[in-house]
Amino acid sequence: MKVLIQDQETLMYLAHQSGWTDQPSEAKDLAFTVHAHHVAKSLALKSFHILFYFPGSEYQMVVSECESSPSTTSKA
């Protein structure tokens, strides 16, 4: 199982070396959902999913949906 970030504006997955891919199999595994959330916030993504991806089965499960507006600040 891999923990991925998907940008909801482009539907692309975060890849290695801060690139993006449309293939979840090529996406960077962030290992932990908390780490993935911090990485997504550091990239200033407006809307993103953190999801579990199961290679081989191509099954994906969204575990977190995050969306921010320009006037929204970080919430605890």
Question: CA 2, CA 46: separation in Å to the nearest integer?
Answer: 22
pTM for the whole structure: 0.83
In a domain, 16, yes or no: yes
In a domain, 73, yes or no: no
Question: CA 4, CA 11: separation in Å to the nearest integer?
Answer: 12
Kindly give, in sequence order, each residue whose CB lies less than 8 Å from that of residue 9, ignoring residues fewer than 6 positions away: 45, 46, 47
In a domain, 42, yes or no: yes
In a domain, 59, yes or no: yes
Domain that holds residue 21: 2-67
How many structural domains comprise the chain? 1
Q: Contact, 30 vs 4, CB < 8 A?
A: yes
Chain segment 3-59, per-residue pLDDT in tens: 999 999 999 999 998 799 999 999 999 999 999 999 999 999 989 999 999 998 878
In a domain, 39, yes or no: yes
In a domain, 51, yes or no: yes
In a domain, 74, yes or no: no
In a domain, 30, yes or no: yes
